[in-house]
Structure 1
Amino acid sequence: MGQKGGRDAFVSQGFDTWNKKDAFRTHVGGVDSFHNKAKEKLLLKTGLTFRGYDESVNSENRGLYIEVLKAIRETSEDIFNNTLENAPKNNQLISPKIQKEPVQCFAQEVLLSIREEIGQNVFALLVDESSDVSKNEQMAIVLRYVDSLGFVKERFIGLVHVKDTSSLTLKNAINEIREQGYDGASNMRGEFNGLKALILQENDMDFYVHCFAHQLQLVVVAVTKKHDGVSDFFEQIALVVNVVCASCRRKTYYESKQEKGCKKACVVVNLKPKEG
């Protein structure tokens, strides 16, 4: 099919040239091939979740990977007879490791496009640490730069697992950077042992910028603590949020009350007589 790619090796003829990379490139095809178009439109454009939480045979939704495969096999008898339950048990190509390989390829393509967009221009590296639902400590990395059209862009490029959030650990996880933007925590901006200080010891051309959003947050917190009325207000708001969000029933009840209040306010506004 020209540069469109594809062949019958995997469904009828068999494939025995695993050591020849060119065979895979031929199978994938050119830039306009079905493989590359599917990769661009199916995942990168829509941001769909690639894998599901329950991929068992009896699951109603086995994840995008298997569900798409199930849809494709319905269009071809050869594919149907050689995939999923009809394939050899050790050759179904649906293991988590195999499913992650295309995801890793997509990630590399996204990073490559970001690097090409930055080119030789300067960029900033935004770093912060957080923990996931499994209580694993990780470091989020974002690139901030100006593209060729003059627009400021921020692109999330990944999460790096770290054993702790000490400045030395974070420093070892960062290699080559040109600008730093952290919050004001001591492990970040510390003059002697902070992440900023450790990096400046090796890269004296870098400079540190205290995150403006974090600065604003600190100012707001400081102002509210000086004003009893405002401080009490936010304290009560925090208590209400904690109480309501701790129960699904209370949350639903509050939403229904809020909806009725909004409808009543709209009716009052509509019935208000016009001046004059």
Structure 2
Amino acid sequence: MTHLQEKGAFFHSGYRFLKLTSATEVARMCEAYPEFLAVRRKFYGESDDDYTKARLKLAQDLCICDFFHYHVTKGAKVLEIGGGFSRLLEYLQDDVEGWNLDKFEGWGNGPTDIPKDTGFKIVPNYIGAYDKNIPDNYFDIVYSISVLEHINLEDEALDDVIQDMERVLKPGGFSVHCIDCRFPPNLAPDISNRRMLKHLMKHYGLSENFIYANHDHENVYHMSAYAYNAYWKSSCGNRPYELDGLPFNIFVAVQKPE
């Protein structure tokens, strides 16, 4: 364990885990999962293979892929929240029973067309809606990639998101999330504009101070200035990265008690 991660106290049979993805990890995972990178090329092209110039989603995708490698067995039932044109579920379709919960309304710059002929099930709805097409106590893992930072609802609705995720997980199952974050360089770090992240961490007893203390560590992986200018700047009001900071990944994993 490095100081780039915080492991919470065990509760019942489960655990809570918070980590800031490091550049060392991203380099290792790029080497470890070439088959997954091949799937990603269908979505982003070969230019996104180079993690030093890639979107933040490359690091996030690899984090989830790595978690599956170590914690999820063949035949597992998995649910992606807001998966859109899901890269992970396409990669895993021969090994897991995949479900994608996404209303395809373009929320968070997501797609608006529901894909056809996929190797996984699609339920067009939002997490927190308690959709009965998603069965109770069914999934081994519920996960999201670059989704929760877009959920900035009132507390009651945020509670519904957490309770709905817990509803559909089997006892002992995992809730795993990669969340974008960036801090303006001239201001104190603050996740108040990430209401879902803040609420999730409070619910599971994880510390905001860990993020504030470590986000600027030299080994934390930040999306490069090149990638910010190429992929993010136009949708961020054309503000320079020097004003808003470079994005990094917050990784949260929680196990449902058995």
TM-score interval for Structure 1 and Structure 2 normalised by the shorter chain = under 0.3
Greater strand percent: which structure? 2
Q: TM-score, normalised by structure 1?
A: 0.24
Q: Which has the higher contact order (CA 8 A, sep 6+)?
A: 2
Greater helix percent: which structure? 1
Q: Max radius of gyration: which structure?
A: 1
